[in-house]
Amino acid sequence: MAKYNEAEQVSNNINLIGFGTEINGDITCNGDLRIDGTLVGNIQAKGKVVVGETGRIKGEVACKNSDISGTIDGKVIVGELLALKSTARINGDIVTSKLAIEPGSRFTGYCDMAGEPTKVESKPFASTDKETKA
């Protein structure tokens, strides 16, 4: 029988923010998350984040996998696969290992596929202050 470390397990729970719901604040979850409403805040998920066509996020998203059909204004950090559907709109930087983009989707920002985003995912959210280098 294999032993599992509870801290490393991803829950099978699916969390849903429905159309017409608006949340102001950060979300941390061990499972999957689907957003069809509006979130003003950051997401830290160990599972998959799905943003439906009516979904809007203003904040940073960090997760294992993601399918985007809605709008995100902020940085997106995905450990494995980020899929941008034809209705996806991202205004912010992307850090991911794999990227799938359907025709019609749009993003404005930088895309970094050279690093190891799985290590970035476990860090706390970055400060919103811009850092300057001398």
Q: What is the pLDDT of residues 103-129, one digit of tens each?
A: 999 999 999 987 655 544 444 455 444
Residue 51 sits at φ, ψ, to 5 deg, of -110, 110
Q: Looking at the 3D structure of the chain, how many domains does it have?
A: 1
The DSSP annotation for 27-84 comes to: EEESSEEEESSEEES-EEESSEEEE-TT-EEES-EEESEEEE-SEEES-EEEEEEEEE
Strands (E), 85-125: 89-91, 94-101, 106-108, 111-112
- Does any domain span residue 9? no
Predicted confidence at residue 101, as pLDDT, reads 94
- Does any domain span residue 3? no
Contact (Cβ atoms closer than 8 angstroms) between residue 13 and residue 32: yes
Query: Which SS3 state, helix, strand or coil, does residue 23 take?
Result: strand
- Does any domain span residue 79? yes
At 9, is the pLDDT very low, low, confident or very high (cuts 50, 70, 90)?
low
For the chain, the average pLDDT equals 83
- Does any domain span residue 5? no
Query: Which SS3 state, helix, strand or coil, does residue 16 take?
Result: strand
- Residue 77 belongs to domain spanning: 14-120
- Does any domain span residue 29? yes
- Does any domain span residue 74? yes
- Does any domain span residue 7? no
- Does any domain span residue 128? no
